[in-house]
Amino acid sequence: MKVIEFLEKANETLFSYEIIPPNRGGSIEKIFHLVEQLMPFDPPFIDLTSRSAEVYYEDAGEGKMIRYIRRKRPGTIGISAAIKNKFNVETVPHILCRGFTREETEDALIELNYLGINNVLAVRGDELRKDPPDEPGRTRNKYASDLVVQIKEMNDGQYVEELLDAAPTNFCIGVGAYPEKHFEAPNMSTDIKYLKAKVDAGADYIVTQMFYNNAAYFKFVDDCRAAGIDVPIIPGLKILSTEAHLRVIPKNFYVDIPEELSSQVIGQPKEEIQRVGIDWAMNQVQELVDAKVPCVHFYIMSSAKSVARVVSQFK
């Protein structure tokens, strides 16, 4: 079932989750244990993040370059299929521009189609350590909107190369957005213009970056609607659980943490910080549910215990 179908058929706010594959050499059993903690709350879908390949080039002389690829977190496709089949829940693997050619992206999408996975989130991805040079016979998606176009073309039966008897795919396409503005955008209106380009290219729904101030999300939705964006906009939340989050989250995700929240966390013991984070998330969710948002999307790292405590109050 497609994400957009879940959203259209729901008569109450849904709760979805996003997890990350294990590091290289890690065990999928840890991922299964994490999903088991979420299953009592009937998740409509679970996102699996991906990580841009770290691409290195070595000059081999005579104008030739040797391409080396190292991926920190492999397994997004395989784990997505494993979770879907083991738990009978839809999965949404993230598909990236950076670190992958359009040809590699097409292969990944074909594999997902074979596996019966019909939901993807199209994102640009993390910065590479070094921008790769152009490669003969290979093309790239520079922006997420370009990636959406490629996926939409596959849905129409158009592939990078002409394939014999190629069947159309049937992907539901999600994209990301930033209620507090993407750090590279000069202003919010420009950021929303780029978001609209992704929707116009064929995106079916939007999932936001995490935020801790619901007012930012509600204003963002209003601004999107005014700009002509009419697809569902799912709010993304992450429960603050350590004092280090006050530094790490703004640094890595360019998210503003309200002073009211940070003042309750600084210098407090671990148990108190966890209580504060859960209470803050509970209040956020209550306000979002009251506003009848289509779904609340939780970003999860290694444990789902805090998320389970919050969601259990609404299920």
In DSSP notation, 181-195 reads --TTSSSHHHHHHHH
- Given CA atoms 300, 304, 309, 312 in this order, what sign does their dihedral have? positive
Contact (CB, 8 A) for 112 and 172: no
Identify the three-state secondary structure at position 68.
Answer: strand
CA–centroid distance for 182 within its chain: 14
Q: Look up residue 74 and give its two tokens.
A: 């492999």
Question: For 40, which DSSP code?
Answer: G
| In the chain, % of residues over pLDDT 90 | 76
pLDDT digits 0-9 by tens, 82-136: 999 999 999 999 999 887 889 999 999 999 999 999 999 999 986 654 445 566 6
Gap between the Cα atoms of 224 and 13, Å rounded: 20
Cα–Cα distance, 158 to 105 (Å, whole number): 14
Residue 139: both structure tokens together:
């093309």
Burial group, residue 253, by CB count within 10 angstroms (0-12, 13-18, 19+): middle
Integer Cα distance of 23 and 281 in angstroms: 28
The reported pLDDT for the residue numbered 134 is: 61
**What average pLDDT does this structure show over 45-54?**
80
Residue from 130, 128, 150 nearest 140 by CA: 150
Nearest CA to 137 out of 97, 104, 96 is that of 104
pLDDT at 35: 95
**17, 48 contact by CB (below 8 A):** no
Token readout for 119 is 């939901």
For the entire predicted model, the pTM comes to 0.91
Q: What is the mean pLDDT of residues 54-60?
A: 55
- Output b/e per residue, 196-223; b: 16+ Cβ within 10 A: bbbbebbbbbbbbbbbbbbebbbebbeb
String of DSSP letters for 115-136: TT--EEEEE--PPPSSPPPP-T
Helix axes of 144-155 and 102-114: crossing angle, nearest 10 degrees: 50
Which ranges constitute the DSSP H helices of the chain? 3-9, 28-38, 76-87, 102-114, 144-155, 188-201, 214-226, 245-253, 259-265, 270-290, 305-311
- Note the pLDDT of residue 52: 60
Using only C-alpha atoms, what is the Rg of the chain?
Answer: 20
Angle value at C-alpha 306, between 15 and 73, nearest 5 degrees: 80
| pLDDT one-digit tens code per residue, 268-308 | 999 999 999 999 999 999 999 999 999 999 999 878 999 99
3-state SS class at 285: helix
Domains of the chain: 3-311 (3.20.20.220)
Total Cβ atoms within 10 A of residue 39: 12
Average pLDDT, the chain: 90
